[in-house]
Amino acid sequence: MAVQSYLPATIGGVVVAAAFADDELARSAVEVLHSSGVRRQDMSVLARDRHGAEQIAGGKAWTPWKSAPTGRLAKLLARLPRPGRGLPREVRRRYADAIRGGRIVIVVVAGGQPADTLEALLTQAGGTDVAAWWSGPVSIFAPPELAGPF
């Protein structure tokens, strides 16, 4: 069985997410999470446009497009409409309207930190619609080969 993230395929993990109204709030949230010990591969920044998400993430968080295949065929396939636009169902259900509305969503795996601590950090950084849920491996996080030391 192929695993799309470093979370074990049979176990999964708790995921915490929040929406941010502007780029500065999202950048400060990434900084707060990073300074509190959340690893780069444990955070993912989702935005309406790829460039904006990569700018907010910088080198401190992951974006789903970092592991996207390159080449002409891959770029052609990326332009085709896909149901859900590649986001996991729970993220789509909770944050699709926020992303369409131009807000930035930061999703964090509660690996080294308890979920309630991450919820508090995201709220403190100005996040809204803060939620935590159980999730299996999802493609918005770093793949296992890029996840780094544990």
Where do the domains of the chain lie? 13-146
Q: Residue range 127-147: average pLDDT?
A: 81
Q: Is the pTM of this model over 0.75?
A: yes
Measured distance CA(66)–CA(145) in Å, rounded:
13
d(CA 10, CA 70) in angstroms, rounded, equals: 30
pLDDT of residue 87: 79
Query: Does the pLDDT at position 43 exceed 70?
Result: yes
**Higher pLDDT pick, 90 / 18:** 18
pLDDT above 50 for 143 = yes
pLDDT at 101: 92
Distance CA 53, CA 113 (A): 23
Q: Is the pLDDT of residue 89 over 50?
A: yes
Q: For position 48, what pLDDT does the model report?
A: 87
Give the chain's mean pLDDT: 80
**Distance separating alpha carbons of residues 72 and 78, to the nearest angstrom:** 10
Q: Is pLDDT above 90 for 29? A: yes
How much is the average pLDDT of 92-112? 90
> Percentage of residues in the chain with pLDDT exceeding 70?
73
Distances (CA, A) of 149 to 6, 9, 12, 125: 11, 18, 18, 27
pLDDT above 50 for 5 = no
What is the pLDDT at residue 68?
A: 54
